[in-house]
A and B are shown apart, each in its own frame.
Chain A
Amino acid sequence: MKEQITLDRFEIRLSGLGGQGILTLGKLLGHALALGHGYQVTQTQSYGPEARGGSSRADLVVSSHPISYPKTERLDFLVALSQEACNSYHHLLKKTGVLLVDTGLVKQTPTNVFLGLPFTELALERVKVPQAMNTVVLGAVTFLMPFAKRDVMRKSLLANLPEKIHKVNLKAFALGYDQARRLLAQPIDLKNGEDESAAKRGDMNLTDIMVED
């Protein structure tokens, strides 16, 4: 059982293409972390005017303290579900940040240090519903985030989705979680991130925390 962990601005970006269900994924994740886990969460989004195909992203800031700036600046966790998203946002990751990609859609990662699962393929072949891809991702993300609890995520899933698609999404969620546990082995280690912020506090240099966007 995972314990309640104190967080100071854990920044997540979920990115990909319009139509992949990124915004729904962001809402589900935010809902669970804010109401079920009791964290402060801001979830923002950015998308093009197209209904499908354009770039789409959802940003979450999770913290144990009140959040001032609602958008992300330096990512702790980047989920990239398209090559373009991976290319565009990779540089925003912290040194200790974790990159998770859809290995079917992201052919070239800008670094060797990344985690990956073939989410779209899993949804298509194992769940038989390509639209459930975002829930497979939610399962994997739940395993990877050391402060996310599986049963709370499931509840958020049920609370936010219409009843007729509950069953298929629970299946997709379980698949994502199990695949991550089997293939990605262990949740993200938060210790490195803490070290970095401790160093920042000790020797404060304003230019260190300024980020060009």
Chain B
Amino acid sequence: MSAMQRKKRTEAFLLGNEAVAEGALLAGCSFYAGYPITPSTEIMEVMARRLPHVENGVFLQMEDEIASAGAIIGASLAGRKVMTATSGPGFSLMQEQIGYACMTETPLVIVNVMRGGSSTGLPTSPGQGDVQQARWGAHGDHPIIVFSAADVRECLEMTITAFNYAEKYRTPVILLLDEITAHTREKIEIPRPGEFEVLSRLLPTMPPEWYKPYEETVRGVPPMPPIGTGYRFHVTGLTHDPLGFPTSRPDEVKAVTERMFRKIDRFFHDIQIVDHDQTEDADTLVIAYGSVARSARLAVRQAREAGVKAGLLSLKTLFPFPRPHVEKLLRTCKLVLVPEMNMGQISREVKRVNCGITTIRTINRVDGQIITPSQILKEIA
């Protein structure tokens, strides 16, 4: 093979789910534990085929989703980059473990491919009903990062970003897809290693006897050695002191909780990712995410052709909610539409930010069908 050929990227015709798995492998994921569930199963299938060929790669099929989340937390503490994927019913089961991962500041990536309905719902149909659950599903005050993706290329990119941010901020990152994004096949170019940034967690540089696992640092993110490398290691879901042992001393509890929030809060500008499409001069704005953002893109294009100044703000970060981006556009637009495949979960956030600045109209669809471009266009016109 010549040098020219080797430089060429591979083109592939992939499902959104398959692109997630490719992204995970490119980001350095070497441990996957999961339990299959429609419509996320293809992620697990690809990982099962590919991980045995990765150096030290481990793939485990677990007995359920609780165990899956537990297994990836353990592997992450041992120094691996880890992922699991599920859908609504499995995501509910994982919530306790997600809270544990937040408290112990364990980096991990959980992909939730949202299906329609609550409970077992509509296994093969799309929905976007888990948005607020992804933010607030685990009990207690906790910061968390929630991403979404609209097309196959974004599935790959946002998975890599999810791994990077999990490691950088020592936090669980949830990637929310919907059935349409997950089950759409498209052509993508698979980037080659070195063409994108790959981040790993901060390791301690001090001698083991000086190391305090949850000590305050400049960024608020404490360094994290893998278990078994000589550094003191104590992990607990109880509120802990800088050494990692349980404490109920108010000053220590306050300090650790506030640091956990601060490590995310201070980097909102880094974490809040959005995409602008013709928003500069728009007076009608659509705010959308996931596959609905694609419908909105066509609707906005058709509205522009008909002379309406429409624009689209598509959200790739759902939480922390990209308030600065939204707020700025609320001031310049007369009408803001929020189409979602739920009864109004991101529109709550938009309304919270709005405080009466402009008119917000929601478009909700909960019949297991995608919101079509014409449905959005009707509201724009």
- Seen from chain A, the residues whose Cβ lies within 8 Å of a Cβ on chain B are 26-27, 30-31, 34-35, 40-49, 67-71, 73, 201, 204, 206, 209-213
Contacts of A210 in B (CB 8 A): 374, 377-378
From B185, B291, B298, B373, A27 is in contact (CB under 8 Å) with B185
From B11, B294, B377, A206 is in contact (CB under 8 Å) with B377
Could you tell me the distance between the alpha carbons of A44 and B182 in the complex, rounded to whole angstroms?
A: 9
Could you tell me the distance between the alpha carbons of A46 and B123 in the complex, rounded to whole angstroms?
A: 11
From B13, B184, B305, A31 is in contact (CB under 8 Å) with B13
Could you tell me the distance between the alpha carbons of A27 and B369 in the complex, rounded to whole angstroms?
A: 21
Are A73 and B291 touching (Cβ within 8 A)?
no
Are A69 and B13 touching (Cβ within 8 A)?
no
Are B301 and A206 touching (Cβ within 8 A)?
no
B170 close to chain A: CB less than 8 A = no
Contacts of A27 in B (CB 8 A): 13, 185
Contacts of A70 in B (CB 8 A): 151, 180, 184, 186, 291, 294
B295 close to chain A: CB less than 8 A = yes
| B contacts with A, residue count (CB < 8 A) | 30
B381 close to chain A: CB less than 8 A = yes
Are A204 and B305 touching (Cβ within 8 A)?
yes
> Which of A30, A34, A49, A68 gathers most chain B CB within 10 Å?
A68
Could you tell me the distance between the alpha carbons of A43 and B151 in the complex, rounded to whole angstroms?
A: 12
Which residues of B, 312-371, contact A by the 8 Å Cβ criterion?
369-370
Could you tell me the distance between the alpha carbons of A41 and B14 in the complex, rounded to whole angstroms?
A: 11
Contacts of A45 in B (CB 8 A): 183
Contacts of A213 in B (CB 8 A): 369, 372, 374
Top 6 closest pairs, chain A to chain B, by CB: A68-B297, A34-B187, A43-B185, A210-B374, A68-B298, A69-B298
Instruction: Contacts A34-B13, A68-B373 known; list 4 others, CB within 8 Å.
Output: A42-B186, A43-B186, A45-B183, A209-B374
Are A30 and B373 touching (Cβ within 8 A)?
no
B302 close to chain A: CB less than 8 A = yes
Are B374 and A73 touching (Cβ within 8 A)?
yes
- The proximity string for B residues 276-320 relative to A, scoring 1 for CB distances below 8 Å and 0 otherwise, is 000000000000000100110110011101100000000000000
B248 close to chain A: CB less than 8 A = no
Contacts of A73 in B (CB 8 A): 372-374
